[in-house]
Chains A and B, each alone.
Chain A
């Protein structure tokens, strides 16, 4: 049991008539990167606000580093770092003033924990006299992460740190998280980008306040129990329509330049699909069987 950093059992939360989280239970292991993967409105932020002691759960128990989320909230606040989805630093303080402020609030100094934030903070240090409000999106994100880390937390909560961030900056951000993990920090991160699931040790796929699946990304994709075809022809829009009208179609979803297809019958052969598409006058037909990714699994779980 000592292996767990966070233990969540039967947690629910409602806002008026709307139940944001429905009886969720799971554990987060020490020093793992745990991903909450789901769209807006799934309940990710509510859960993170409960875990960071900012909201009280309606039901259930949560234990964080052997402390009770309700009774020991003051102690918990000292050992967690939190980066909210919305930029929440002081816009009219400089970069350095913000960092200093958070260090002081937690009874420490920039110097004392500089080693932990060095990789991240050194990238914005040349601008340390600039007001936080005048930073670019990527720099704001780095400052927010530095401030969340300045008191050397045991557990770090990141609420959609990469939303609206371009593909290059997203990649850099995940590299930073991997480094923090190596320093012994447990990380719980939420994201609407399905492709980021593969960067986590374990993930929970969450939709409408419920967890649809929870496991390593590898195990989740292995559980996809249908043969998945990846199909491409010259005319993508027409292909989408034609596959939707194919006699035993189970699912048809666009994935970039390809269309992912599953059939109700397991006996379907690649040549059957090719013949059908030839009949429909498609050219440059490509059909292959592929392994499902997290997004395939998420879509399939949403249908159930």
Chain B
């Protein structure tokens, strides 16, 4: 992790009619950092993520993602990020290999490069034997690891993970976090939401949102000290209600 800011949000606000979904958010995320973006359901996390991914415009504020402006340079932002959610990431009726090729092509990677990197990835994940299987025929744990690997295949500056480990078995969940650590060590910034509070403790820093506002932002250790709690679960219960 470096001290170079890769996401910078100053006074980010988003209103839908009279409803303020994001109320004056201020935060920086650093290069190579694992940043946990926590909050109760309905706190405004998804709204903020959509803005940071260039899919929605803020009502006001100055926000830069990977050096690009969220009002004017949304296409540049999209080229420089990866995204994965629990709900949708891979095409069920395409094979493992076809999914990788599809996403890599969208991001403009060259055929030769895709081929070489695909083999490398499948070997690393021990998936080589399953490369021609359709996504719908592989276990959930594999899907999630593959979806993550696909999201960082084009070597983006930032990867957004929206509840990536929901419903995954405890062993796979830990293997998944190993992939996250490796990715961050390579300098890719990881921006992650989760409802598992033990996973919040794997992050370098976490922010906690409540009713559209960021109510806490620090390292897990500092938050536990500040709120006199033995883990992040306690911190969350104290802050978010």
Instruction: Give A contacts to B, CB under 8 Å.
Output: 38-42, 136-138, 160, 163-171, 192-195, 207, 236-237, 240, 253-257, 295, 298-299, 302
Taking CB atoms and an 8 Å cut-off, the chain B residues in 146-180 that contact chain A are 163, 166-172, 174, 177-178
Residues of A within 8 A of B236 (CB): 166-168
Residues of A within 8 A of B172 (CB): 39
Return 27 A-B CB contacts under 8 Å, by A number: A38-B169, A39-B140, A39-B172, A40-B140, A41-B139, A41-B140, A42-B169, A137-B41, A138-B42, A163-B166, A163-B167, A164-B195, A165-B41, A165-B195, A166-B43, A166-B240, A169-B40, A169-B41, A171-B237, A192-B166, A237-B185, A240-B178, A253-B170, A255-B198, A256-B201, A257-B221, A299-B170
Instruction: Give B contacts to A, CB under 8 Å.
Output: 39-43, 86, 139-141, 163, 166-172, 174, 177-178, 181, 185, 195-202, 220-221, 231-233, 236-237, 240-241
In the complex, what's the smallest C-beta–C-beta distance from A263 to chain B, in angstroms? 18
In the complex, residue of chain A having the shortest beta-carbon distance to the beta carbon of B196 = A193
Residues of A within 8 A of B201 (CB): 256-257
Contact of B40 among A163, A168, A194, A195 (CB under 8 A): A168
In the complex, what's the smallest C-beta–C-beta distance from A108 to chain B, in angstroms? 31
Task: Give Cα A237–Cα B203 distance, bound, in whole angstroms.
Answer: 11
Are B170 and A168 in contact (CB-based, < 8 A)? no
In the complex, residue of chain A having the shortest beta-carbon distance to the beta carbon of B197 = A167
Residues of A within 8 A of B166 (CB): 163-164, 192
In the complex, what's the smallest C-beta–C-beta distance from B144 to chain A, in angstroms? 10
Contact of A39 among B40, B43, B167 (CB under 8 A): B167
Contact of A166 among B141, B167, B195 (CB under 8 A): B195
Are B140 and A167 in contact (CB-based, < 8 A)? no
Residues of A within 8 A of B199 (CB): 256
Are A166 and B198 in contact (CB-based, < 8 A)? no
A237-B233 in contact given A166-B39, A257-B221, A302-B171 (Cβ < 8 Å): no
A167-B237 in contact given A138-B41, A256-B198, A257-B221 (Cβ < 8 Å): yes
Residues of B within 8 A of A169 (CB): 40-41
In the complex, what's the smallest C-beta–C-beta distance from A300 to chain B, in angstroms? 10
Task: Give Cα A39–Cα B237 distance, bound, in whole angstroms.
Answer: 24
